[in-house]
Amino acid sequence: MIKTYKCPGCGASLIYAGGTEDLKCPHCDRTVPVSEIAEQNNEAEVLAAGRAEDESRDNAGTNVREFQCPSCGAALVTTDHTSATQCAFCGAPTLIESRLTGEFKPGKILPFRFDKAQAQENFKNWKGTGKLTPSSFKSAAVMDKVTGVYVPYWLYSYSCEADIFAEGTRTRIMEGQKERVIMTDHFNVQRTSSAQYRGLPYEASTKIPEETMAVLEPFDYDKLTDFSFPYLAGFQAEKYHFPASEMQERAREAVRQDLINAAVADIDGYESVSLLNANVRFLQEQADYALLPVWTLNYEYMGKNYPLYMNGQSGEIDGELPTSKFKLFLRFAIAFLICFGLAFLFGRIL
């Protein structure tokens, strides 16, 4: 089922206004609460439509699907995982709701905290845009490419316990007339330590490079809210590629290592502590499916693409910008002339 939310005033497509609980009409500025639109959604109806879509999908083996834009009727081409996008012809924010229902329905969503204009400003003022960044980066044409994407995530929470077996040592030194006696007391040290981890995030799609997402984290989970479709209006969204079980072991291993390190570090009263053995038990575990907000900007320079990403909550940015060869040369030339002149003067003074 393809859907756009229409403004009750002028009929234009509504988009979610970042940092608020409203959808806003970009034409007449009318706002509609998210909760009001969410109430109109009938999930059973959406599910049924989704099944019908699945049955009618082509057997060509491609992961490209074609829909009809509900605003202008143009063909809307998406991948199998796309669940919210914009029409390439009329720009209408379009939701493919069936993609985010049933098992793919996110439990939580972290709405964007600021709108596109603010995201554009953040990109322009990013400290990574040094003096060597091409001037075209801040142009309107480039900034218009800023796109908000909800990235599917598994948030793992654990309650776990670790039995730590270690050897601790304490040293005493006795000074004699002719010799020094160093006595080291050895102890078997056992500890049972527990800890809780909340919302360890693992990206469930291949949309954004994993290492980039690691830089963009953390997200403010206090702002997590129950998933509702209207938050997606005006943004792109994907359903997960990897099920929770696929990322589970990596999350567990990360937690296991961290808990052991923290428990060993917590052993006090010894000059040295050597870990001998450790058993970690996971008492409770939970995986929440959530959509987290990321602003993306694909900057093309000299035929090469430079993707940039911004945490839609904190504004943290990651990515690499190209270097303007002209600006680099200019900087070199200025420094060259200054140093050349100084060396010349220095030589004359000598």
Partner 1 sequence: MRRKAAFFLLTVFAVFMLSGFTGTFTEGSTNYVYDEAHLFSQAKIDELNEYITSVRDKAKSDFLVVTTNEPEYDDEIEAAEAIAHAWRDAGNGYGKDHQVIVFYIDIKNRNARLMEYNDREKWRLSDSEIDEINSYILNDMVNGNYGTAAGKAIQGAAECAKPGFFERIWGWITVGIAGGGAASGIALGTHNAKTTTPVRYYMRDQRVYTGRREDQFTHTTTVVQPKQTNPPTSGHSGGGSSGGSISSSGAGHSSGSHGGSIHF
Best CA proximity match to 93, nearest among 226, 192, 231: 231
Cα 5–chain centre separation: 26
As a whole number of angstroms, the distance between CA 189 and CA 267 comes to: 8
CA-CA-CA-CA torsion sign (21, 25, 30, 35): negative
- CA distances in angstroms from 86 to 96, 160, 234, 313, 338, listed in the order given: 11, 43, 7, 22, 52
As a whole number of angstroms, the distance between CA 285 and CA 287 comes to: 7
- Closer to partner 1 by CB, 62 or 196: give it: 196
Choose the stretch contacting partner 1; rule: CB under 8 A; options: 94-102, 215-223, 225-233, 274-282.
Answer: 215-223
As a whole number of angstroms, the distance between CA 83 and CA 236 comes to: 7
- Closer to partner 1 by CB, 57 or 198: give it: 198
The minimum distance between CB 127 and partner 1, in angstroms, equals 6
User: Which of 25, 143, 189, 208 touches partner 1 (CB under 8 A)?
Assistant: 189
User: Which of 27, 51, 198, 281 touches partner 1 (CB under 8 A)?
Assistant: 198
The minimum distance between CB 306 and partner 1, in angstroms, equals 13
Instruction: Verify binding: residue 279, partner 1, rule CB under 8 A.
Output: no
User: Which of 72, 75, 262, 276 touches partner 1 (CB under 8 A)?
Assistant: 262
172 in helix, strand or coil?
strand
The minimum distance between CB 322 and partner 1, in angstroms, equals 11
How big is the site for partner 1, counted in residues (CB under 8 A)?
66
Q: Give me the residues paired with residue 78 across strands.
A: 65
CB atoms within 10 A of CB 235: 26
The minimum distance between CB 209 and partner 1, in angstroms, equals 12
Instruction: Verify binding: residue 300, partner 1, rule CB under 8 A.
Output: no
- Closer to partner 1 by CB, 27 or 331: give it: 331
- CA distances in angstroms from 229 to 101, 109, 201, 269, listed in the order given: 10, 10, 22, 55
- Closer to partner 1 by CB, 117 or 342: give it: 342
The minimum distance between CB 335 and partner 1, in angstroms, equals 3
Phi-psi region of 36 (alpha: psi -120 to 50; beta: other; left: phi over 0): alpha
- Closer to partner 1 by CB, 109 or 264: give it: 264
Label residues 264-300 b or e (16+ Cβ within 10 Å = b). Answer: beebeebeebeeeebebeeeeeebbbbbbbbbbbebe
Residue labelled with tokens 């040369």: 329
Residue labelled with tokens 């109806």: 45
Instruction: Verify binding: residue 326, partner 1, rule CB under 8 A.
Output: no
* Contact present, 233 and 5 (Cβ < 8 Å): yes
Site for partner 1 in 77-106 (CB under 8 A): none
Choose the stretch contacting partner 1; rule: CB under 8 A; options: 68-76, 83-91, 95-103, 187-195.
Answer: 187-195
Could you give phi then psi for residue 307, rounded to 5 degrees? -80, 140
User: Which of 258, 285, 301, 322 touches partner 1 (CB under 8 A)?
Assistant: 258
As a whole number of angstroms, the distance between CA 111 and CA 19 comes to: 7
* Cis amide linkage into residue 243, ω under 30° from 0: no
Choose the stretch contacting partner 1; rule: CB under 8 A; options: 61-69, 98-106, 211-219, 277-285.
Answer: 211-219
Interface characters, 149-178, with partner 1 (x: CB under 8 A): -------------x-----x-------xxx
| Strands 108-109 and 272-301, sheet pairing | parallel
User: Which of 59, 188, 245, 277 touches partner 1 (CB under 8 A)?
Assistant: 188
Site for partner 1 in 9-48 (CB under 8 A): none
The minimum distance between CB 250 and partner 1, in angstroms, equals 11
Binding interface with partner 1 (CB under 8 A): 127-128, 130-132, 162, 168, 176-200, 211, 214-215, 217-218, 254-255, 257-259, 262-263, 266, 269, 318, 320, 323, 328, 331-340, 342-344, 346-347, 350
